[in-house]
Amino acid sequence: MESRLRIFLLKLVCTLVLAGILHGCSYLRVDDAPNDDTDPVISPELERRTITEADIDSEDFEVGAFVGVMSIEDFGSNVVYGARGAYHITEDFFAEAAIGRTKAGDTSFETLSGGAQVLTDSQRKLTYYNLSLGYNILPGEAFIGKGHAFNSALYLIAGVGNTEFADDSHFTVNVGAGYRFLVNDGVALHVDFRDHIFKSDLLGNNKTTHNLEGTAGISFFF
């Protein structure tokens, strides 16, 4: 009786062990399967019919701020500050929108005459916005020391915009050049020189004025 029970228990244990082994094998087989699949079947002649739209972080937009000096023709130079946004259309071209603000100083007439004022204080505020197209004419790398290389580009830029000055809007053409230095893929430092050209009749006759601006800025890609 006792031996029969023992045999029964042994059988039970054997069955369980066997079942366990088989189960383990099936797991192994499941594990093996994807390993086989990851070996890519490479056939360059394969017809390109499957489209997988990969969700890849695209960093073509750039926003930033800048500060510098702007000279307003006849009104001296003053601090200018503003914001800038750009969209990189291709590796060569980018579209840029910028807004900037500065304040006019005194004309030489005002300085010499003593008290006479051509403009009131609020009229001396100058605000501009512009829409421009830039071209990366000299893309390259800048080296700092032996072990560091940074991407950079010298770009030419031109555009149109509006300058609000002395209670009047002026159609403004801007041309210039700048240097973009990429600290890493996401952050860039800028140095930018621009000529803002608009017609003004503020001092009697209507003339074309050149308003030079030099700025330094930082921008972020996203």
Partner 1 sequence: MRLFAALLVLVQCLFSRMVLAEEQYFTVVVAEPYLELHTGPGRGYPVFHVVDRGDEIEVIKRHTDWFKVRTARGKKGWAKRADMQQTLTTTGEPTQFANAGFDDFSQRRWEGGILAGDFDGGDLISAYVSFAMTQNLAIELSASQMFGDFSDAVIGTVNLVAQPFPEWRLSPFLSLGTGFIYTDPNVTLIDESDRTEQISSVGMGVRWYLTRRFLLRAEYKNHVIFQNKDDNQEINEWKAGFAFFF
3-state secondary structure of 36: helix
Which of 1, 33, 42, 144 is in the footprint of partner 1 by CB under 8 A? 42
When asked if residue 52 is in the footprint of partner 1 (CB under 8 A), the reply is yes
3-state secondary structure of 41: coil
Comparing CB distances to partner 1, the nearer of 3 and 184 is 184
When asked if residue 146 is in the footprint of partner 1 (CB under 8 A), the reply is no
For partner 1, which stretch binds (CB under 8 A), given 21-29, 65-73, 77-85, 167-175? 167-175
Cα–Cα distance, 218 to 222 (Å, whole number): 14
* Cβ atoms within 10 Å, residue 81: 15
When asked if residue 33 is in the footprint of partner 1 (CB under 8 A), the reply is no
Binding-residue pattern over the window 85 to 114 for partner 1, x denoting contact by CB under 8 A: --xxxxx-x-x-------------------
Instruction: Yes or no: say if 31 and 23 are a contact pair by the CB < 8 Å rule.
Output: no
When asked if residue 32 is in the footprint of partner 1 (CB under 8 A), the reply is no
**Window 116-135: residues binding partner 1 (CB under 8 A):** 131, 133
Instruction: Yes or no: say if 100 and 65 are a contact pair by the CB < 8 Å rule.
Output: no
For partner 1, which stretch binds (CB under 8 A), given 12-20, 21-29, 45-53, 66-74? 45-53
First to last CA, the chain: 81
- Going by C-alpha positions, the residue among 128, 91, 98, 116 that lies closest to residue 209 is 128
- Cβ of residue 170: shortest distance to partner 1, in angstroms? 7
What are the structure tokens assigned to 138, written together? 């000299």
When asked if residue 46 is in the footprint of partner 1 (CB under 8 A), the reply is yes
- Cβ of residue 141: shortest distance to partner 1, in angstroms? 7
For partner 1, which stretch binds (CB under 8 A), given 15-23, 64-72, 76-84, 139-147? 139-147
Which residues, 6 or more positions from 64, have their beta carbon under 8 angstroms from its beta carbon?
Answer: 83, 84, 85, 188, 190, 217, 218, 219, 220
Cα–Cα distance, 151 to 185 (Å, whole number): 9
When asked if residue 161 is in the footprint of partner 1 (CB under 8 A), the reply is yes
Residues in contact with partner 1 by CB under 8 A are 37-38, 40-42, 44, 46, 48-60, 87-91, 93, 95, 131, 133, 136, 139-141, 149, 151, 159-162, 167-171, 185, 221
